[in-house]
Amino acid sequence: MRHLAWILAVQMILSTSVAANDGVSDGAKGRAIAEKMDKSYSGYGTSSADGEMILYLGNREVKRSFRSLTLEDLGNTPNEYNVLVFESPGDMRGIALLTHAKTEPEDDNQWLYLPAASRTKRISSSNVSGKFVSSEFSYEDLAKQEVDEYTYKWLRTEACPDSALNCEVIETYPKNENSGYTKRVIWVDTQDFRAQKVAFYNRRGVHEKTLVLSEYTLPENGRWRPLNLNMTNELNGRRTVMTWSNYQFGEPHGKKDFMSQRLKALAR
């Protein structure tokens, strides 16, 4: 009799769990949220923007300005091409990062142009977890995260951090074995499906970094963009803030503008 009661109790718990998720698994629900989040950012074609990067290194602040150009290719395999070129300070001027974001199983391609050496350096797939110009952003962080590059799990619904909005909280697990992370936990608002916060767990499974995205804007003919990205290293207390301005969408860029051979010209 006790055995029968135990079976009935387990069945009740399982049926309640399925009902709570409307018959959708946590993995499928997590992916569906990620797809909605991707849709809120994607489908813009081309864009340009100005930016500033501030490194908080103990008692020091290091400021850098840059410009960014992006091309979205919505062919059979979605790809994104981006070039980020530093304009100041003087010793950083002309340093450029070119990213060709690919979808699994293809690896992203990235190149770093160093004007002092007049040299273009290929970033190997094994080094994507490295720090970009000593900031708390890695090369991997600066490439578009395609939906198919991860598997997913929905965790819960709760209030968004420091916001009156509600958030869906999902976990994403990279398929790429060269990723610097074992997982990311993302808070996605239920109003417009924008990422509000991301917790990054390193290869040891330790919560290493936290990214807070704020001051979202929706430019004419564009897509949602956060104007402030605040990345904190939870292990050493260092922080890098990227602020964006002057977003322009529909710029006349083509793939030829995002070739590694043209980095020297783009960096002028």
Q: What is the mean pLDDT of residues 5-25?
A: 49
> One-letter amino acid identity for 97?
L
State how far the alpha carbon of 163 is from the alpha carbons of 33, 158, 214, in Å: 19, 11, 10
Least confident piece of the model among 56-70, 80-94, 121-135 = 121-135
pLDDT at position 20 = 45
Q: What is the DSSP string of 74-86?
A: -SSS-EEEEEEEE
pLDDT at position 86 = 96
pLDDT at position 67 = 96
Tell me: domain 37-266, CATH 3.40.50.1110, correct? no
Q: What is the mean pLDDT of residues 78-90?
A: 91
pLDDT at position 5 = 45
pLDDT at position 18 = 40
Let me know: does 154 contact 35? Beta carbons within 8 Å. Answer: no
* CA dist., res. 29 & res. 23, Å (int): 10
pLDDT at position 263 = 86
User: Considering the chain, what is the average pLDDT of its residues?
Assistant: 88
Expressed in angstroms, the distance from the first to the final Cα of the chain is 81
Query: pLDDT tens digits, residue range 158-171?
Result: 999 988 999 999 99
Q: What is the mean pLDDT of residues 24-29?
A: 93
pLDDT at 94 over 90: yes
pTM here is 0.87
Token pair in block for residue 174: 């990279």
137 or 262: which leads in pLDDT: 137
pLDDT at position 21 = 52
Let me know: does 47 contact 222? Beta carbons within 8 Å. Answer: yes
Q: What is the DSSP string of 173-211?
A: EES-TT-SEEEEEEEEETTT--EEEEEEEETTS-EEEEE
234 or 15: which leads in pLDDT: 234
123 or 77: which leads in pLDDT: 123
